[in-house]
Amino acid sequence: MAKKPLLEFTDKGIYCAQGRFYIDPWKPVDNAVITHAHADHAYICNQHYLAHELSKEVLLYRLGPINLQTVAYGEKVMKNGVQISLHPAGHVIGSAQIRVEYQGEVWVVSGDYKVEDDGISTPFEPVPCHHFISECTFGMPVYQWKPQASVFNDINNWWRTNQEQNVATVLVGYSLGKAQRILQNLDLSIGKVYTHGVIENTNEALRRNGVILNPTENNPRIIKRGSAERHYPGAAVIGRHTVDAAVSAV
C-alpha cells in the first residue's frame, strides 16, 4: 500500500493531516501556516496563524486582531508530532518557505519566492528536502528579467531627467513588497519620495516591526490621472497597484 503524502492539496489549501494544519489556506481553518502577508496567501477567519516575525505587524494591519504566533527563520515549532520551520523565500519582507518534517521525511512549500537578492528581503535560502512544492508565477522561459541594478539605474536616470524638467515621476507597485523594493533602491539625492496612503500604512507597519526603510512623505490624496505633475513636481511618487493610483509607470 502506497504511503500517504505528508502534504496534499485540498479544497481549502495545502494540508498536513498528521500535523492538522494548512499552509496558506483560502478557506477558514483551525491552524494556518502563512508563507507571507500578501492577500492571496493570508486570509481572514482562521482560528490560529503561524508566520514569520517580520510579517507580524503587516498581518495585524491587514487582518485585524488575529490569534498570531510568529517565529524567526529556522526556529522549530511542533504541531502534533510534525516539525515546522520557516526559511527565507526572498519574495517580500518576512516571506518564508515552509519546511515540514515527520519521521525523517522533509517537504518544503516555497510560497512565492525569488532567488535574486533585492537588498530588502532576506535572501532566498535553498532548503534540502525530499519533496519541493514550488510556486511558479514566472517560471516559463519567456520571462527574462534584467538584473535589478540595471533596472533601478534606468529608473533613477528617468527620475533625474524628470526632476530637471520639474515633472513628477510616478511608479506603481503592490503596497507590500514592490513598493518597499522601489523605495529602497531610489536615489534619494534626486528629490523627495511620496507614497500612497495604503503604501505608507504598510511602511509604518513594517517600521513597527523594526524594519528600517528610507524616509517617505505620505501622499494625502489618491493620485488621480494627470494630477501628480501639479502636486509633486520633480518628486518621485510611489502609487498602489490599481488603475486609480497612477499617472504613468516605467
Are 128 and 44 in the same domain?
yes
**Helical pair 178-185 and 148-164, crossing angle rounded to 10 deg:** 70
Cα torsion 201, 204, 209, 212: sign: positive
Residues 142 and 140: their CA atoms lie apart, in Å, by: 5
Give the residue ranges of the chain where pLDDT is below 70. Answer: 1-2, 219-230, 241-250
Q: How many CB atoms lie within 10 A of CB 39?
A: 12
* Polymer length in residues for the chain: 250
Host domain of residue 100: 8-133
Contact 80, 61 (CB under 8 A): no
Q: Chain-centre distance of CA 124, in angstroms?
A: 13
Q: What is the pLDDT of residue 228?
A: 57
Q: Which residues contact 50 (CB under 8 A, 6 or more apart)?
A: 21, 31, 32, 33, 34, 68, 69, 70, 71, 77, 84
Q: Which of 101, 133, 165 is the last residue of a domain?
A: 133
Q: Which of 103, 133, 163 is the last residue of a domain?
A: 133
Cα torsion 3, 9, 11, 12: sign: positive
Are 119 and 232 in the same domain?
no
Q: What is the pLDDT of residue 241?
A: 63
Establish if 22 belongs to a structural domain.
yes
- Total structural domains within the chain: 2
3-state helix, strand, coil split of the chain in percent (to 5) is 20, 25, 55
Establish if 140 belongs to a structural domain.
no
- Averaged confidence pLDDT in the chain: 90
Establish if 162 belongs to a structural domain.
yes
Contact 79, 21 (CB under 8 A): yes
Q: What is the pLDDT of residue 89?
A: 98
Q: What is the pLDDT of residue 213?
A: 96
Are 125 and 159 in the same domain?
no
> pLDDT by residue (tens digit) across 212-240?
999 998 765 545 555 555 677 889 999 87
218, three cell numbers:
505620505
Q: Which residue from 177, 166, 170 is spatially nearest to 155, judged by alpha carbons?
A: 170
Q: What is the pLDDT of residue 229?
A: 58
Q: Which of 69, 98, 133 is the last residue of a domain?
A: 133
